[in-house]
């Protein structure tokens, strides 16, 4: 009887584990017993959140997204950024060796602090970066607002 030796590959096991874990959460959050389904997006833009004495600041990286394809809104004390980054549709004679950038719809939501003034939000979009300024206030104000991006 011959014994066959197999070389152990720890990275393959790690990859298999990651796949199983991702599948578990996907099933759970999309009809697998936790009640309401959570919206699944294709990608999620990176953000930086900071504050100073007068305001909170959110900077979101939105490369290859046009200003008119971004929506910023406030409802029920949640600031939400939504939109879509579209993939180049014409791929004539291109042979891809690696595709790492993500495309599709995105949603990012952030709870507005009690001292945030939703009625004074300003949003500016420049060079693929969305900058949102949420002023601070002594008394909470508006619950629902659509924000115009400049």
Question: How far is Cα 145 from Cα 24, in angstroms, rounded to an integer?
Answer: 36
Q: What is the pTM of this model?
A: 0.64
Q: Please write the tens of the pLDDT for every residue from 61-93.
A: 999 899 999 999 999 888 999 999 887 766 677
Greatest mean pLDDT range, 8-12, 15-19, 88-92, 118-122: 118-122
Token pair, residue 8, equals: 């152990």
pLDDT at 118 over 50: yes
* End-to-end Cα separation, the chain, in angstroms: 75
- Specify the pLDDT at position 33: 33
Opening angle at CA 122, ends 136 and 116, nearest 5: 20
Question: How far is Cα 144 from Cα 5, in angstroms, rounded to an integer?
Answer: 64
- Specify the pLDDT at position 91: 67
- Specify the pLDDT at position 28: 44
pLDDT at 143 over 70: no
Residues 126 and 137: beta-carbon distance below 8 Å = no
């Amino acid at each position: 009887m011959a014994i066959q030796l197999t070389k152990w590959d720890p990275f393959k096991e790690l990859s298999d584990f990651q796949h199983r874990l991702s599948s578990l959460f996907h099933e759970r959050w999309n009809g697998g017993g936790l009640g309401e389904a959570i919206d699944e997006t294709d990608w999620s833009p990176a953000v930086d959140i900071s504050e100073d004495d007068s305001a909170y600041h959110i900077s979101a990286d939105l490369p290859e997204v046009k200003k008119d394809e971004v929506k910023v809104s406030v409802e029920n004390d949640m600031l939400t950024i939504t939109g879509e980054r579209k993939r180049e549709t014409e791929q004539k004679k291109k042979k891809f060796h690696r595709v790492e950038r993500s495309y599709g719809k995105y949603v990012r939501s952030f709870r507005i602090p009690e001292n945030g003034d939703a009625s004074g939000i300003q949003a500016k979009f420049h060079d693929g970066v969305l900058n949102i300024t949420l002023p601070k206030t002594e008394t909470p104000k508006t619950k629902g607002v659509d924000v115009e991006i400049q």
